[in-house]
Chain A
Amino acid sequence: MAVKNLLEAVRETLHDALARDDRVFILGEDVGARGNVFLITKDFLEEFGRDRILDTPLAEASIIGVAIGAAMAGLRPIAEIQFADFIYPAYSQIVGEAAKIRYRSAGGNTCPLVIRTPYGGGVGGALSHSVSIEALFYHVPGLKVLAPSTPSDAKGLLNAAIDDEDPVLFLEHKKTYRSIKGEVPDGKHTVPIGKADIARPGRDLSVITYGLMRHFAVQAAEELIKDGIDVEVLDLRSIRPMDRDAILTTATKTRKVLIVHEDNKFGGVGAEISAIIAEEALFELDAPVRRLCGPDVPAMGYSKVYEEAFMPSPERIAAAMRDLAAF
């Protein structure tokens, strides 16, 4: 065990996977000599060579398309999209191709591909370096979407993603890269895909969340307990498949649910969680399901004013928790 930040956890996981399995290789823009714009793959080029740490042209669709081909040919590519905001040209390849390969060949072909990309705001990234994309992808059967929030989960889920036989979109919240530290187990720590984590057990209401918001929610909960309000925080970790059992268990336990995500509210992941709860636990609820999310504007702007107005903060989360507790 060692304390690392999320970036270090990802780096270590990638390094160990490359060392362990020579089918694994990394491709993306600036992954080689530059070592990735956050230095995640720093020095990998020297250690693993040009073949396996492959700087691609500035062409996202083909980063993924080529990776798909390599995966179909038996390798384990880890493709990087430099910022989630740049993933749109590759949408056809991810959703139209990768997600469907097993299904369309009735199992004859498979696509064990990992796509890593940093997402989320809070770093002054403005309109094109801050978006959350999970809602655009978690809808798609055949694709898996992961969003770990702790260094330990980042390692565990990335290992699971690399081992997975199906395409996995692995989302790394860039604000958590350096600001979130935690114990990371040594060796090939693996976390099962599709299992949520109770970040904080509680009794009075449940917050269902993921990503950076998990940390804000826990922080807010630690404030509320001083006033005797005991909040349970459930970190989804895995957006697709989603841990329905954990969602229903926590909703039934506390009877009050607040969903918090940074992504825009309308049609976001919270909408699906709400529907699941309404369909299967309506009669356990003591209050309507609430969602505290990013506003429905295209993206967060450059000025700090915009960014802070966009992103749910621990204070706003605490206020929403209090409000729900008092309902």
Chain B
Amino acid sequence: MALAPQLEQVLGKLLHYGTLLASAVIAAGLLLVPASGAMGVRLATAGIVLFILLPVVRVGAMLVFFLRARDYRFGAIAALVLLIIIFSYLVGAR
């Protein structure tokens, strides 16, 4: 378990800065809307997509970490979570 605190630090930073980035993109988009309508909406949409992808990237980071730590059981669990999420998007697109 010696490696675990390190992973916690990495995930904490990823989620923190990811939230800041997505929020900044959304704010920029909304502020642009009065000036250039569609352009601003598109930027805000990009920010929303960033928010949706952030937890998915977090699962991906855990997958990489578990594989590197040769913890194949939890690597498989993280991969399963990713697969379920991808499958859910496919169901949505259907």
Chains A and B are bound partners = no
Binding site for B on A (CB under 8 A): none
The residues of B with any CB-CB pair to A shorter than 8 Å are none
